[in-house]
A and B are shown apart, each in its own frame.
Chain A
């Protein structure tokens, strides 16, 4: 729990998130129009999306499948009957004058997910509901000095609104929640989780109260925050703002706010009094959505392994530590990559090479694992070379660098460079003798108690052998000779 020290005492915050996740599907929720990102404005708009007279919505089955699968991913209750409602308000990017959403009877009910915190612990966060709804279009205010332009490409695109219980207590928990939710959606394939393209965005509900206080404070909702970094920053800013108001004797006005990404502050959008009366009512163009129990069960059975289960398995099967397993499962591609590397290898060693060396290199290159210059097969081969003592771990790092640059296979690099480890005891023995003879004075010092010099001798022998001496063999021999 994050505790904030105010002027008058300690404060805690209560946070709930409403995440809007764009469903991965070829067409929109109620029309056949395409959903590809980046098309020219108004090029992916059907007559239904533009709400022409007499046009009617027809539910896209694929979107229902995605919502049900996601519901299972959130350990949630699937409602076999749900209802689509109209949420009425006027806005130019809302062609029909209403958004089709689910109000009283959502497709998915209560569930939960377990978030992984930086200290290695986990915490269960309740999910209130998940419902299906249409996205609105986009108003473009920067195309003309006096007119607003409207792009309806997004209008009608299917969203899942996933509402959490107000059970998060700080920015780290909120970030962990979004990361975990994103991982689940990506595993299921129901949302690509791409926050930059707007595939996922969050409304943050936040209130503050004095530490230990049971009663909730008045909350504010920060709309449409579109990155984990901004979510954390908005929470920090907003909590501080609310605390300052209360400590100065003021009260929090319940309102909708927005996060200004350039000024790094939240700003009031509209007050509770200005809130729309959405006049929700069941959409008479759509029948209640009834799902067949057996069909739903088939979807459950066909679910892929989800992050938590995968983490458990990686720990058991490969002997990984929780931290490494958590890191790997956060991205399904990374977990898959790891398993390919670890096939027939030591799991811990493989995990180390993936999470430390490879992730580090990708980070520097600014690349996703899907575009790694080193394939899983190649990295597995490298780990194999370490395991069978062909090369040492230290040489392996050099090999890795060459692999990054040239894309060559590790065995070929080792062969070409002559980097095979020296395991011939006689050769190491000879090298040691030569060094000890060269440094008779140091040998005398060592024998008189200067233990630290052992490392010096190791270093000299390694240098003489071009780093190829097997470190364990070298240690053993050297100890014997110096005793």
Chain B
């Protein structure tokens, strides 16, 4: 069993193709793995029977010579993706009993390519958070514990919002998982769990059927064990969808083909503004190591400036809550989701939303409502949009000088459950390196590069130009092979 779950997606696909094992065997093994991983609390809903059924169908397709691109691969699905007939909660009490009658475009594409779904993975409530502790279904536990006794004695967060995805991938409870990334929700959890997290260009994947958090920032993404696995998943997930007006009508190139390509002559930008005060030395050292690795692989290292970097986090925490406050207005207890009957209409709204939403979601709705209010709109929302345009200009100018940008993914390693919760701003700082890619729309991915002295994984982030995921995968796979990160968490199925 351990050997099967140790295979990454690429290896698993080869084995399935060579009939070393059947999809049904794989599914059975992973159903057991999911059960074994229960202490991590990574899943909100498991679907073992569905997995077996899909695996049997997968074997039949393969036998009939109709194998899809991901035929027989068992995945976990972040609970932000609506799945037909399978409860979809967005980790919220509000949607505790919500069973969609429809399948999100991205998961439909994955199913069409032959995947087997093991279940729905926890995340921060409505994907709002960087630690997975805002889930209404309890925190997810990082399978990593760290080397020193202080760390080893406590439970760590797996990052967020895609914390169920990152923990499950790191613990080998799934081969890979879908994620969503609004401000770093695929990349930061990947960095904290030693996995690969990727968000494509805004518009690359359809948002149809994904529970909306902040529409101008949300993108589907992946959490995988390798860069190639991520590229393979994106090839399936990407593509134009006429049901999403913001999805782009452009061809999907071979992302796996870009993996392993030489980075000789590739210009790697190092943004000087990302050398922040208060960042531990080992984070900066990992960054420097990453720079050296790419340089050794033939890349050209370029010093670049992104002058408005400091404004990105405040801008993000205006725009994302503003959109969220409106996107979450539909959860009113009238048509679906939680309803707590009140004395009258307003009371019913207040009771339902008060009981359905956790404190972080309520906080962001309040912030968003405030920044859009008459009298504050110009000072906050409008100003934030103007700064967002400046950030875009920063990147446009930087990409004249370089092809990709290399930076840390997260400001530190995984922290303990219960830490950084007293002051929301401390938690928001987790996103300091990641939010910019969402504000600008560019593709970005985190690759594990090593362990910090505390024995916890560190990740570095590659950002590319809009629609240049191929360049991103090329640089990321070069970094991956140079780093040769092979450490595994103590908790594994």
Q: Residues of A at under 8 Å CB distance from B? A: 47, 50-59, 86, 88, 90, 92, 95-98, 148, 150, 277, 279-281, 283-287
Contact = CB atoms under 8 A, between A and B. Distances in A.
B90 interface: yes
A23 to B, nearest CB: 19
A368 B168 CA distance: 70
B211 A54 contact: yes
B90 A53 contact: yes
Nearest to B345: A92
Contact of B215 (A52, A88, A285): A285
Interface in B226-254: 242-246
Nearest to A277: B374
**Per DSSP, are chain A's interface residues mostly helix, strand or loop, or mixed?**
loop
Interface stretch (B27-35, B331-339, B412-420): B331-339
Contacts, number: 97
Contacts of B374: 277, 279
A285 B245 contact: yes
A96 B207 contact: no
Nearest to B349: A90
A98 to B, nearest CB: 5
Contacts of B82: 53-54
Interface of B: 81-82, 88, 90, 95, 98, 100-102, 104, 207-212, 214-216, 242-246, 322-323, 325-326, 328-330, 332, 334-336, 345, 349, 369, 372-374, 377, 381
Given A57-B245, A279-B374, 17 more contacts: A51-B335, A53-B95, A54-B81, A54-B82, A54-B102, A54-B207, A54-B209, A54-B211, A54-B212, A56-B244, A90-B332, A90-B349, A95-B330, A280-B372, A281-B326, A281-B372, A287-B246
22 contacts: A51-B330, A52-B102, A52-B330, A53-B90, A53-B100, A53-B212, A54-B208, A54-B211, A55-B208, A56-B207, A56-B245, A58-B244, A88-B372, A95-B330, A96-B330, A97-B329, A279-B326, A281-B372, A281-B377, A284-B323, A286-B245, A286-B246
A92 B352 CA distance: 13
A193 B330 CA distance: 32
Nearest to B104: A54
Contacts of A277: 373-374
Nearest to A276: B374
Given A58-B245, A88-B329, A284-B323, A53 B345 contact: no
Pairs of residues from A and B, 3 with the lowest C-beta to C-beta distance, nearest first: A97-B329, A284-B215, A284-B216
B107 to A, nearest CB: 11
Contacts of B214: 284
Contacts of A148: 345
B326 A97 contact: yes
A473 B152 CA distance: 123
Nearest to B98: A53
Nearest to B368: A279
A162 to B, nearest CB: 25
A287 B245 contact: yes
Nearest to A281: B372
Nearest to B375: A277
Nearest to B353: A90
Contacts of A52: 100, 102, 330, 335-336
Nearest to B330: A51
A97 B326 CA distance: 7
A56 B345 CA distance: 26
Contacts of B328: 97
A92 B334 contact: yes
A287 B215 CA distance: 11
Given A92-B345, A281-B372, A284-B216, A56 B208 contact: yes
Contacts of B209: 54-55
User: Which of B81, B102, B328 has the most chain A CB atoms closer than 10 A to its own CB?
Assistant: B102
B349 A50 contact: no
A409 B369 CA distance: 71
Nearest to A150: B334
Contacts of A285: 212, 215, 245-246
A284 B214 CA distance: 8
A476 to B, nearest CB: 78
